Amino acid sequence: MPLPLRTRLFGWLLPRIPGGTVAGASAERIAAMQARVIPDTPITRAVKGGVADGVRLTEDQVPGAGGLLRARIYRPVGHDGDLPVVVHFHGGGWVLRNLEVSDWLCSRVAKGAQVVVVSVDYRLAPQHPFPAAVEDAVAATGWIARHAANVGGDATRMAVMGDSAGANLAAVVALAARDAGGPELRLQILLYPPTDLTGASPSLTEDPDALILTPLGRDTFLSLYLGAADPADPRASPLLATDHTGLPPTLIQVGDRDPLRDDASRYAAALRAAGVEVRGTIYLDAVHGFLSFPGVVPAARQALWEIVNEVRRHLHPAGDLSPADGGSDGRAS
């Protein structure tokens, strides 16, 4: 069954616009792509959405392993007191993107689930190869847990979330938090996560012309991120950790047209085998990264609804929610 026309058109157009692909790009070109901010226009908002109404957005900094990191904080308006905290890491192959790309997702999770979302930037490759991003993510999550009150958050009700490369980082943070004895996480939300960077998942090479994430594009990202590092290192490939017991309940989402679907399914199976509570969903007619462009992939709205409900279920005690704000509108704008 063919993908919706708007999804196919977007997938065809993306690699043809400036900053659409890193394959074959020079170091100078990659640096320019990293510095580029997507303009806020009616067209871009129609594709990637924007900040939800009823959410206050503030900018701050949090300490990473190598210095201060930019952070974007989303808090639902009209909710006093300490709210649960979701720490988010954006996608982009550990090489591209920034906090703005996650405005639609993070603001709607904040509003619908009545939580504070702290979206953390991290050092990007190739200037800062593995494990810089991992070390930043671990350090930032620990600092946010210790200083949650600074953003009106409750560190006893905390989750990590990430999409694509950010989901890889979120999974590694959950493993590190378990091994370090904290911070205690009640949920991890992994959106189309790359969990095995050794390339062992069959779906990675099934479609050489896959929209958004081609085999060439994936190989380029991994080369820039890992350099000479071992892709089997569990800090790069959380699926290859020797022990998955004791991890928090997990939501894993992936599209049926995503080359990373086997990575997602294999990680879900590994967690279940270790006794971890897992909810895994494969969305039909969804390509890689679909929650970053809700205006062109209809499945993004249903996926958002599932995320919001899982966050509410795990981070709010029974009866703790305001019925008036219980849902998320799912609109792209």
What are the residue numbers of the active site? 164, 258, 288
Alpha helices in 77-146 (DSSP H): 103-113, 132-146
Burial class (CB in 10 A: 0-12, 13-18, 19+), 35: exposed
Using DSSP's 3-state secondary structure scheme, residue 239 falls into: helix
Tell me how far apart the alpha carbons of residues 92 and 126 are, in angstroms, rounded to a whole number. Answer: 13
Tell me how far apart the alpha carbons of residues 330 and 15 are, in angstroms, rounded to a whole number. Answer: 27
Relative to beta strand 153-163, strand 250-255 is unpaired
191 Cβ contact partners less than 8 Å away, ≥ 6 residues apart: 91, 161, 162, 163, 164, 166, 167, 252, 253, 254, 291, 303, 307
The structure tokens 């992936």 sit at 254
